[in-house]
Amino acid sequence: GALRSRVAASRQGPVARLSSAPIGDVIGIDLGTTNSCVAVMEAGSAKVIENAEGQRTTPSIIGFQENGERLVGTPAKRQAVTNPRHTLFATKRLIGRRFDDPYVQKDMASCPYTIVRSDGGDAWVEAQGQKYSPSQAGAFVLGKMKETAEAYLGRPVGHAVVTVPA
């Protein structure tokens, strides 16, 4: 019966495991090329959470300061005018692309930050002397969205559903 199904599912690994134990808050994050947002279920419907600036969307922008500080979202967007070489935006479009891809080469001509070849030949970005994969840049934005949700909820969040639209 149900117990046998639960035991069989637990052998399939953490993804297939069935459990009735509460897992706490689960947030939903839309990781966009230009902007991202985060939501949580409240009273049976999704509530989009406002960021520290009172906005429902957060720019998918990462800025690296000379002092090593990393800014994400609106603060990063604000400093982009004075720090364009170290402000990353729209990096999602580089995920899975090779450095030699004509699309990447064309992008390099109009991009204020540096796109570099990774050791494996992929297109990565560079800021303040550090190289980052496009996935790492996305992770910085995801981290900011998690912080936004935790500030709203007043407690840590351990689970998320992430959408990465084309």
Q: What is the mean pLDDT of residues 140-166?
A: 96
Query: What HEC string does the chain produce?
Result: CHHHHHHHHHCCCCCCCCCCCCCCCEEEEECCCCEEEEEEEECCEEEECCCCCCCCCEECEEEECCCCCEEECHHHHHHCCCCHHHEEECHHHHCCCECCCHHHHHHHHHCCCEEEECCCCEEEEEECCEEECHHHHHHHHHHHHHHHHHHHHCCCCCEEEEECCC
Q: All domains of the chain, ordered by start, with CATH? A: 61-136 (3.30.30.30)
Write the pLDDT tens digit of every residue in 13-60: 555 556 676 778 899 999 999 999 999 998 889 999 999 999 999 999
